[in-house]
Amino acid sequence: MSAGPDRPIGFFDSGVGGLTVLHECLVSLPAEDYLYVGDSSHFPYGDKSRERLRERATTIAGYLLDQEVKLLVVACNSATSAAGDAVRELGRGAGVPVVTVVGPEAEIAGAITENGRIGVLATPATVFSGAYRRALEDQGRELTVTEVAAPDLAPIIQGGATFSEEVVNTVRGYCRPLKEAGVDTLILGCTHYPLVAPLLQRILGRNVRLVTAGHAIAGAIQRRLASEDLLREGDGEGGYGFRVTGDRESFVTLGTRFLQLPLSGRVEHLEL
């Protein structure tokens, strides 16, 4: 398969979290078309085994490649940590470039930290994989990395209850070791977490810089498309559509808040 500029960019995530990344791409690369798969019937990914995550990630990647996307984005940290290599191999076989989270965020965090103390807040699957620690070590700087596994945070956000006192107390507990470590930079290692970024900023203090996947991935996508001569030219707005393996209506309701653009009429159910 040879990709062309007019083909869509494919995204996938365990649910709606990757829409925070898609939002940045819709803003930064408005002329492109996008096809997003939300595997909400298997959410959350953060407590799944590596083998199970590789199975789901390669199945969804295979589906998107069959839709003839020109670039494939793994917009899920847990899936990237467990199966990024397998998805990249599938992409190479199809002649389609693959962009994943983790690496671009680690690059930014390593560049902007002033005291060399970087925090990572992520799902258990991502933390236990060591993906961010390895990516930060590859920056070539002497860094102290504090990783905190947050098993409850993505399900809370996916469920829509992001502003109760219970949520505040949960987030405060996850932030405690980060504050004790004196981090000046925090990687939000799950694409769901930007929705609680204001709360994290309040608890950690305004001097702690938060690094999210959205801006990092949008920049990486633009550079990769340009290098492959796949950028779509023009000033118009491209289209965007969604496939969801779980309940369609709940995806529309919650996803609209994540994407900050309308989803109604653009979401189809998908059996994989």
pLDDT confidence bin for 157, thresholds 50/70/90: confident
Residue pLDDT, tens place only, 94-113: 999 999 988 999 999 999 99
Catalytic residue among 190, 195, 203, 218: 190
Let me know if 76 is a catalytic residue. Answer: yes
Please tell me which residue, 192 or 146, carries the higher pLDDT value.
146
Query: Are the CB atoms for 14 and 45 separated by under 8 Å?
Result: yes
> If you average pLDDT over residues 156-165, what whole number do you get?
74
Mean pLDDT on 154-168:
77
Average pLDDT over all residues of the chain: 92
Confidence (pLDDT) at 162: 60
pLDDT of residue 164 exceeding 80, the answer is: no
pLDDT one-digit tens code per residue, 38-81: 999 998 888 889 999 999 999 999 999 999 999 999 999 889 98
Please give the pLDDT value at position 254.
86
Instruction: Work out the average pLDDT over 207-225.
Output: 92
Q: pLDDT band at residue 8, thresholds of 50, 70 and 90?
A: very high
SS in 3 state form for 71-109? EEEECCHHHHHHHHHHHHHHHHHHCCCEEECCHHHHHHH
Of 61, 76, 118, 267, the catalytic one is 76
What is the C-alpha to C-alpha distance for residues 53 and 48, in angstroms, rounded to an integer?
6
Chain segment 229-266, per-residue pLDDT in tens: 999 988 889 999 999 999 999 999 888 888 888 898 89
pLDDT band at 1, cuts 50/70/90? very low
pLDDT value of position 176: 97
Please give the residue that has the higher pLDDT: either 72 or 4. 72
Give CA–CA dist 162/160, Å, rounded. 6
User: pLDDT class for 207, splitting at 50, 70, 90?
Assistant: very high
**CA nearest neighbour of 208 among 187, 176, 184, 177:** 184
| 190 belongs to the catalytic site | yes
| Burial class, 265, CB count within 10 angstroms (exposed 0-12 / middle 13-18 / buried 19+) | exposed
**Residue 233 DSSP one-character state:** P
Domains, the chain:
9-100+215-269 (3.40.50.1860), 103-213 (3.40.50.1860)
Q: What is the pLDDT of residues 134-146, one digit of tens each?
A: 999 998 889 999 9
